[in-house]
Amino acid sequence: MADVTTTAGLGPGPTASRRAVRGPRWLSQVTKFARRRTLGFAGGVVVVLMLLLAVFAPIVSPYDPEESSFLDQLKPPSREHLLGTDQFGRDVMSRLIYGAQTALVVGFGASVAGCSAGAILGLVGAYKGGKTDLLLERLNDVILSFPLIILAVAVVAALGTGLLNVIIAITIPIIPRVARVIRSSGLTLRQMQYVEAARALGVSDTRIIFRHLMPNVVAPYLILLSAFLGQAILLESSLSFLGLGVAEPKPAWGLMLRGAGVQFLEQAPWLAIAPGVAISAAVFAFNLLGDSLRDAFDPKLRV
Amino acid sequence: MGITRRSFLQSAAAMLAATACSTAATPASKPADTKPADTKPAGKEPATAAPTAPPKPATEAKPSGDAKPTAAAQPAAAGQPRSGGELQFIVSAEPPSFDAHRETTFAMLHPTAPHYSLLIKFDPDKYPEVMPDLAESWDISADKLTYTFKIRDGVKFHDGSPCTARDIKVSHDRIINPPEGIVSARKAQYAAVESVEAPDPRTVVFKLKYPSASLLSLLASPWNQIYSADKLASDPKFPEKNVLGTGPFKFVEYVPGSHWVGQKHPDYFQPGLPYLDGFRATFIRESAAQVAAVRGGRAHVEFRGFTPPARDDLVRALGDKITVQESPWVSNLLVVFNTEKKPFDDPRVRRAMNLALDRWEGSEALSKITFVKPVGALVRPGSTFARPDAELEKMEGFSRNVAAAREEARRLLREAGVPDGFSFTIKNRDIPQPYESNGVFVIDQWRRIGLNATQVQLEASGYVSDLRSGNYDVCIDFIADYLDEPDLQLSKFISSERSPFNYGRYQDAELDQLYDQQTRETDPEKRKQLVWRFENRVNNDQAYAFPILWWQRIVPHASTLQGYRVLPSHYLNQDLTNVWLSE
Amino acid sequence: MQGYIVSRILLMIPTLLGVAIITFILLRMVPGDVVQLKLAGDGGNVAAEVIQAERARLGLDKPLLAQFFDWIWGAVRFDFGLSMWTGRPIIQEVLIRLELSVQLTIMATLIATVLALPLGILAAVKRDTWIDYAVRIFSIAGLAIPSFWLGIVLILVLLIAFQYSPPLSFTPFFKDPVENLSQLIWPALAVGYRYSAVATRMTRSTLLEVMREDYVRTARAKGLRESLVVVRHALRNAFLPVVTVIGLEFAFLLGGLLVTEQVFNLNGIGKLMVEAVLRRDYTMTQALILLVASVFVLVNFLVDLLYVWLDPRVSYR
């Protein structure tokens, strides 16, 4: 993708400018984004689609996702069941749609919580410096040097399975990774004049961090968020594979893939294809979106 | 449940030549014949199933009840047993230690059983009858209080030292009255035993406090491996890390996490046996990898068994290179209530939840996706003390008229003051098959009477811990025994003060009394009545706990593997003495 | 420089101590214990007294602080004690699995590097063309497929297409390289592909960044051929971050392959670690986490040293 600094020859094309004249401003920006960062735009479209599905799940899904019907076990895709049925006769399409809810709740839950906590810790470390910074850095080191999945396994083992616990397990490893990136952005901000001015005026530390530093790390924050969203969805499926994810009969993509997906891979491949495509598409989409955001806002950021 | 007589005879004929040592193990029997026997199988139909046909793909509905075996999938014409070859089998978990007296996992038995002998063992062809192993014959006194075993002469441990009555006495003392610091996992099962004596090197005498209906079966326990008395004297924990037995195979190596190797013991006490040159057990945890290993020809078998879809995939891919043996299993899944928690302290609520289950439909549907099938009460359907289906259907929760049962369930819920249902969590193991599938099944069934259950799945350690400490509302528990024996299966349900693995947290004097009566009752017919009364109290009157479905053991193996019969327990018949490879 | 090295080494101590403390506490917070699981886990019917006695034998009834100091004192002397599950020495259990894990890690890192460098360079040089897009889709796909899924499908493809399944147990490379590789090449490919994704992206973006630097522009302005510019100027300087990523991945892979090891049935450190946690084998889990953390910290340190050594612009404190 083009970087912001190398825009030669990539100015708004004729289509974009025409739209810009006619449509509202945001539309023109979207169009511009679509033209200049096609992959990222495609990712965005998938993300929006997923959001819509999740929000309107009760309306769009044709069946109750947890309703078993033993007369309809393992039926291939048909008019009644567009994506077939699973081993309990549950409608795969409905489970997939409700699964988007689970994926997004886990994805957003873990990455928002992890990125926010990480950002705050990173900024506090960068701003305070000295012993606080040293302590936070050590703590980051400690968590970073834990094997990621083992940490998740231990957390889920300690708290039990369930949506919230899975989110917590995925959140923890995200925190130090975000803290590290945000801290380095924060270090340069600390030297800025307006920050020093605020401090001289006796503005409290909390206020400086939240009012003056925070708005300046929004770009890296968003980039990290979209990157970890995909990771979180993926990690949820790995936890499911190890039996530590969301529990049946709750619909979740990772669960669908590891349970029936593996068991009936040959006899009922539709059971694996649907959630497999869904997971990959979602992770793909978040990654593409994240990449494009990075290229657009902060090309030097390493995620 | 059992298999039809016709199919049994068919398969029995195929297995015959492969079967050595099939002398009936009636009391005071003669030493076992060591040549491949040419006797006819007993006319009596054993409870085990025979090798069955490659089943139809699980997606097709099968008639409920048993799969009908067809002749097409008999083991390849048996012929004369052939010596040589190394058996490759898979074990899906790993032994914590090698000490059978203290361990409880099949993962310990599958690799070690070929190295050891027992006093007596189950006859694979006539299960649940027993046959000689180290004991060549035995005698039971008229008052049923003294069991005298005559021990084989000239049996040697793998290091060349002789095995005598003393080794057998010391090994059983270690199980029944373990010395300080030694754990015996099944000590409680031998409560009737007063003493074990070895008056001379070829005689072992068991004296009982009271007559026991189950003693002979319990002495054939695959866990009662005979260890060297000398080694135990110098180090009571010797068997935990060392393997020294009198069995058909010598120990070669164990690489933790990877594999276990055994080699033919040339001085085995049955001449000409074993047929195999050796065996190699590979530890594979992941079920997809296990199936791939059998399919790719890297392993002959996983003795515990696979799921129906795995079976169907193997049969489809390998055709007659694979033989499927199925058997009902002395294992089941139970719904157990924490009777200290509301509303599960109310028998009406528990009964309603029992009535909500349609086990017959469940059996048909779940047997396509996981290894459960037989519908039964607290003892395995088809076993000696079980009731026939007609009787079973009269029990609460086993009726074929499900609509009426659910109506009754709703009535009970109204009576109990919860007409609109309620929400609760059900704790279950995190193992997909058969635990998770059955969890999904009961949750769905309970939805139909207005109850809303959420499944919480725990890995083994957290699961045991929560169940033992009562940290649950409702749980899915299980029974996994090594033989059909009411003493074992029913012990789960007596007062929790007496039974550490009754997690229902209730005390019930009536059940305790019935249990004690049945264990002393040596008349099978009278004992059966006591067992049924016990079942009625647990399942119908109180519904402290009730079975969901019984397990169905499905063992697809390479057709070259011969002389092995699947029994209703994966703990049994693993010594590999008569197993051979046709190529 | 020496001062820097010494201070970096000293800084490892609090990190590892922190890891030790958190591991210790976390494990004790997890309900269940090894004795209960061993004796009652498989439907065993064992009295509470027996379980208590076994706990006492393993020292689980001692005060937590005493348990902790016993362990740390042992760990400092490289005496990790016995596994609570098997009763065998932990060092022995780890050594059995270490060879496989190290080899798999090296192979996967090699594959990742071999894939990532040319692809990353290609994507950067042909930026915004279909080649760039294809490379990026290929590499993101590696990240978007759950690792267990990639493994299971790979195994199944081998089975269905070639009726082939890899050997079941590990043979050391120097004993029988063919047998060894026919087991490890598949997981190495699966993991290598996955991790090449990270390295490809890193190569591409650092290269793009470097190519905007003055000295590259100067080189271009001097009329050097584009390929020469890339190879001689840009690549050399883009190399460092890529090395970092590869180094850190290496450290991560050593203990982080538990899902892959499970799917391909490999007897490695990751599988041992997950089993140890699930079995509540405290001593084993503690030792393994400390081992993996030490490797991670050490590799981190080495990568930093490499920076200092290779790039004179990086200053050290």
- For chain C, give every domain's residue range: 2-76, 90-310
Nearest CA in chain A to B313: A266
A29 pLDDT above the threshold of 80: no
The span from the CA of B484 to the CA of B482, in Å, is: 7
Give contacts of B 9-28 with A, CB under 8 A.
Answer: none
Average pLDDT (A20-31) is 67
**Nearest-CA neighbor of B538 among B321, B339, B247, B401?**
B339
- Residue-level pLDDT at B68: 37
A15 pLDDT above the threshold of 80: no
Q: How close does chain B come to C21, measured CA to CA in Å? A: 22
- Is A66 touching B (CB cutoff 8 A)? yes
Average pLDDT (B490-511) is 93
- Tens of pLDDT, residue by residue over B264-297, are 999 999 999 999 999 999 999 888 889 999 999 9
Average pLDDT (B4-30) is 39
Contact between residue A159 and residue C264 where contact means Cβ atoms under 8 Å apart = no
Interchain proximity B102–C39, CB inside 8 Å: yes
- Residue-level pLDDT at C311: 64
Q: How far is CA B520 from CA B147, B212, B524, in A?
A: 15, 5, 11
In chain A, domain spans = 89-301
Residues of chain C with C-beta less than 8 angstroms from the C-beta of A107: none
Average pLDDT (B522-549) is 96
Higher-pLDDT residue of B83, B67: B83
Interchain proximity C278–B460, CB inside 8 Å: yes
Nearest CA in chain A to C301: A141
Span of A223-227, A270-274, A296-300 with lowest mean pLDDT: A296-300
- Is C209 touching A (CB cutoff 8 A)? yes
Nearest CA in chain B to A239: B430
Residue C302 pLDDT class (50, 70, 90 cuts): confident
Nearest CA in chain B to A158: B462
DSSP-derived pairing of the beta strands B51-52 and B322-337: antiparallel
Give contacts of C 232-261 with A, CB under 8 A.
Answer: 241, 252, 255-256, 258-259
B576 pLDDT above the threshold of 60: yes
Interchain proximity B501–C96, CB inside 8 Å: no
- Residue-level pLDDT at B11: 42
Q: How close does chain A come to C122, measured CA to CA in Å? A: 13
Interchain proximity B437–A87, CB inside 8 Å: yes
Average pLDDT (B441-455) is 94
| Mutation for C interface: A142, A256, A271, A298, most C CBs within 10 A | A142
Interchain proximity C209–A299, CB inside 8 Å: yes
C258 pLDDT above the threshold of 90: no
Interchain proximity C212–A241, CB inside 8 Å: no
- Residue-level pLDDT at B49: 42
- Tens of pLDDT, residue by residue over A224-243, are 888 888 888 888 888 887 77
Chain C partners (3+ C-beta pairs within 8 A): A, B
Give contacts of C 265-304 with A, CB under 8 A.
Answer: 270, 273-274, 277-278, 289, 292-293, 296-297
Average pLDDT (B135-143) is 95
The most confident of B57-71, B354-368, C3-17, by mean pLDDT = B354-368
CA C293, C296, C297: angle at the middle one, nearest 5?
A: 85
Nearest CA in chain A to C29: A158
- Residue-level pLDDT at A6: 30
| Mutation for B interface: A264, A265, A270, A271, most B CBs within 10 A | A264
Residues of chain C with C-beta less than 8 angstroms from the C-beta of B547: none
DSSP-derived pairing of the beta strands B423-429 and B452-458: parallel
Interchain proximity C280–B461, CB inside 8 Å: yes
Interchain proximity C36–B468, CB inside 8 Å: yes
Give the closest of B297, B480, B500 to C42, CB-based.
B480
Q: How close does chain C come to A299, measured CA to CA in Å? A: 8
- Residue-level pLDDT at A301: 60
- CATH, range C90-310: 1.10.3720.10
The most confident of B47-61, B443-457, C137-151, by mean pLDDT = B443-457
Residues of chain A with C-beta less than 8 angstroms from the C-beta of B430: 161, 243-244
| Mutation for B interface: C101, C154, C168, most B CBs within 10 A | C168
- Residue-level pLDDT at B72: 37
| Mutation for C interface: B183, B463, B505, most C CBs within 10 A | B183
Give the closest of A243, A247, A258 to B456, CB-based.
A247
DSSP B382-421: TSTTPPPHHHHTTSTT--S-HHHHHHHHHHHHHHTT-TT-
Nearest CA in chain B to C87: B97
The span from the CA of B290 to the CA of B319, in Å, is: 18
- Residue-level pLDDT at A192: 76
Give contacts of A 238-297 with C, CB under 8 A.
Answer: 238, 241-242, 254, 257-258, 261-262, 265-266, 276, 279-281, 283-284, 287-288, 291
ipTM score for this prediction: 0.87
Mean pLDDT of chain B: 87
Nearest CA in chain B to A70: B365
Nearest CA in chain B to C274: B459
A179 pLDDT above the threshold of 70: yes
Contact between residue C38 and residue B464 where contact means Cβ atoms under 8 Å apart = no
CA quadruple A253, A258, A260, A266: dihedral sign: positive
What's the longest Cα–Cα distance across chain A? 75
- Residue-level pLDDT at C11: 84
- Residue-level pLDDT at B439: 95
DSSP chain A: ---TT--TT-S--HHHHHHHHHS-HHHHHHHHHHHH-HHHHHHHHHHHHHHHHHHTHHHH-SS-TT---GGGTTPPS-SSSTT-B-TTS-BHHHHHHHHHHHHHHHHHHHHHHHHHHHHHHHHHHHHH-HHHHHHHHHHHHHHHTS-HHHHHHHHHHHH-SSHHHHHHHHHHHHHHHHHHHHHHHHHHHHTSHHHHHHHHTT--HHHIIIIIIGGGGHHHHHHHHHHHHHHHHHHHHHHHHTT-SSPTTS--HHHHIIIIIHHTTTT-THHHHHHHHHHHHHHHHHHHHHHHHHHHH-TT---
Give contacts of A 18-37 with C, CB under 8 A.
Answer: none
- Residue-level pLDDT at A8: 33
Q: CATH fold of A89-301, please?
A: MetI-like fold (1.10.3720)
B566 pLDDT above the threshold of 50: yes
- Is C143 touching A (CB cutoff 8 A)? yes
- Is A146 touching C (CB cutoff 8 A)? yes
- Tens of pLDDT, residue by residue over A238-264, are 888 777 788 888 898 888 888 777 888
> Tokens in use for A227?
């990157």
- Tens of pLDDT, residue by residue over B294-347, are 999 999 999 999 999 999 999 999 999 999 999 999 999 999 999 999 899 999
Give contacts of B 275-334 with A, CB under 8 A.
Answer: 288, 307, 309-310, 312-313, 316
The span from the CA of C8 to the CA of B32, in Å, is: 73
Interchain proximity A68–B58, CB inside 8 Å: no
Residues of chain B with C-beta less than 8 angstroms from the C-beta of C33: 461, 465
- Residue-level pLDDT at B322: 95
Q: How many CB pairs under 8 A join A and C?
A: 130
Average pLDDT (C155-180) is 89
Nearest CA in chain A to C20: A142
- Residue-level pLDDT at B547: 97
- Residue-level pLDDT at B62: 36
The span from the CA of C271 to the CA of C257, in Å, is: 8
Q: How close does chain B come to A37, measured CA to CA in Å? A: 41
**Nearest-CA neighbor of A277 among C135, C200, C149?**
C149
The span from the CA of C215 to the CA of C313, in Å, is: 14
Q: How close does chain C come to B283, measured CA to CA in Å? A: 8
Contact between residue B140 and residue B128 where contact means Cβ atoms under 8 Å apart = no
Residues of chain A with C-beta less than 8 angstroms from the C-beta of B437: 87-88
Residue A83 pLDDT class (50, 70, 90 cuts): very high
The structure's pTM equals 0.85
- Tens of pLDDT, residue by residue over A113-166, are 999 999 999 989 888 888 888 889 888 888 888 877 777 777 877 777 778 888
- Is A238 touching B (CB cutoff 8 A)? no
Give contacts of B 118-137 with A, CB under 8 A.
Answer: none
Residue A298 pLDDT class (50, 70, 90 cuts): low
- Residue-level pLDDT at B574: 95
Interchain proximity A244–B307, CB inside 8 Å: no
Average pLDDT (B24-47) is 37
Residue B492 pLDDT class (50, 70, 90 cuts): very high
B501 pLDDT above the threshold of 70: yes
Residues of chain B with C-beta less than 8 angstroms from the C-beta of A157: 459, 461-462
Span of A161-170, B56-65, C164-173 with lowest mean pLDDT: B56-65
Average pLDDT (A268-281) is 89
